[in-house]
Amino acid sequence: MDEAIVREHLAEIRKALAGNEEEHEVLMNLLKGYEGWLRLHGETPSALQLGFSVNGEGKGKTAPKGKLSLRRAVIQVLQDARGMSLHASEMWRLVQALGVQTSSPNPVGVVDFTAHSLKRQGLVEKTAPRTWRWTSLEPRSEPGERNADTQS
């Protein structure tokens, strides 16, 4: 190989990467647009449509025995979304479908705050205002159980 061939390959690779970056950007914009449209105009999917199951029971002080805690429900909703971003209001509707209640006058704010605390632990990422996506590779039951066990 000589320098001219290497430079030619390098130019081809840069061109291909530029095309991939542009395609990636377009696809991400489409994804965000569709998610936004669904948030505004789509029917909110029920917990059953997304395949949710209440398999872990809340163990925290705020959850009555046999009930799912708000934190654990938020974790479950985000995990079951399988990488899809969810707005806090969507999460609240899905959390309610799991039977979780709160006496807060601003339940969407509580869900958003809960997701923010999960972000600080590196489990979720914020994709837009009050919009979150599960990113952790931890096993599905571990995050909620680990923290519930440490509460006193």
Assign residue 88 the CATH number of its domain.
1.10.10.10
Q: In this structure, is residue 34 part of a structural domain?
A: yes
Give the Cα separation of 119 and 143 in Å (integer). 12
**The overall pTM is greater than 0.85:** no
Q: In this structure, is residue 24 part of a structural domain?
A: yes
Q: What angle do CA 143, 76, 37 make, to 5 degrees?
A: 130
Q: What integer pLDDT is reported at residue 139 of this predicted model?
A: 55
Residue range 4-24: mean pLDDT, rounded: 80
Q: Which residue has the tokens 């009930």?
A: 67
Count up the domains in the chain and report the number: 2
Q: What integer pLDDT is reported at residue 57 of this predicted model?
A: 40
Q: What integer pLDDT is reported at residue 150 of this predicted model?
A: 40
Are residue 74 and residue 145 in the same domain, yes or no?
yes
Q: In this structure, is residue 142 part of a structural domain?
A: yes
Are residue 29 and residue 100 in the same domain, yes or no?
no
Q: What integer pLDDT is reported at residue 17 of this predicted model?
A: 74
Q: What integer pLDDT is reported at residue 3 of this predicted model?
A: 84
In 10 A of CB 119, how many CB atoms?
A: 14
Are residue 21 and residue 76 in the same domain, yes or no?
no
Are residue 74 and residue 32 in the same domain, yes or no?
no
Are residue 145 and residue 80 in the same domain, yes or no?
yes
pLDDT higher than 90, residue 40: no
Average pLDDT along the chain: 76
Query: DSSP class of residue 123?
Result: S
Least reliable range by pLDDT among 36-40, 76-80, 131-135: 36-40
Are residue 74 and residue 144 in the same domain, yes or no?
yes
pLDDT higher than 50, residue 83: yes
Which residues form the domain of 3? 1-42
Q: In this structure, is residue 80 part of a structural domain?
A: yes
pLDDT higher than 80, residue 25: no
Dump pLDDT digits (tens) for 85-132.
Answer: 999 999 999 999 999 999 999 999 999 999 999 999 999 999 999 999
Q: In this structure, is residue 32 part of a structural domain?
A: yes
Are residue 32 and residue 89 in the same domain, yes or no?
no
pLDDT higher than 50, residue 144: no
Q: In this structure, is residue 143 part of a structural domain?
A: yes
Query: DSSP class of residue 45?
Result: P
